[in-house]
Amino acid sequence: MDLSPFQLSPTNPHVRLVYFTRGPASDAVTEMACTISPFGIAPSIQAERRLSRFTRVGASLAFAFPSCTLTAKFKARAGGASYEWSIVLCDDKDEFSRSALFGVALPYVAFQIGRVMFRPWLERLTTLFDDPTAEAEVDAAKAEESERIINLMKPTAERIAREEEEKKGIVIVEAKYGQTDPLGSRSYPVMGDRSIDVTVPLQSMVHDSQLRVFSVKSQLPGFHDPAPGFAKVLMVKYRFRDEPHAVCIPDDMPLTIPLRWARNHWAESSSINDGKRTIIGYSNR
* Average confidence (pLDDT) per 10 residues, the chain, 285 residues: 55 78 71 86 88 79 88 83 87 82 84 80 66 59 87 93 92 90 64 85 92 83 82 89 88 81 45 40 40
pLDDT in tens, 32-81: 888 888 888 999 999 888 776 677 889 999 998 888 888 989 988 876 78
pLDDT the model gives residue 173: 93
pLDDT at 6: 58
Q: What is the pLDDT of residue 189?
A: 67
Of the candidates 5, 34, 6, 7, the residue with the CA atom closest to the CA atom of residue 19: 34
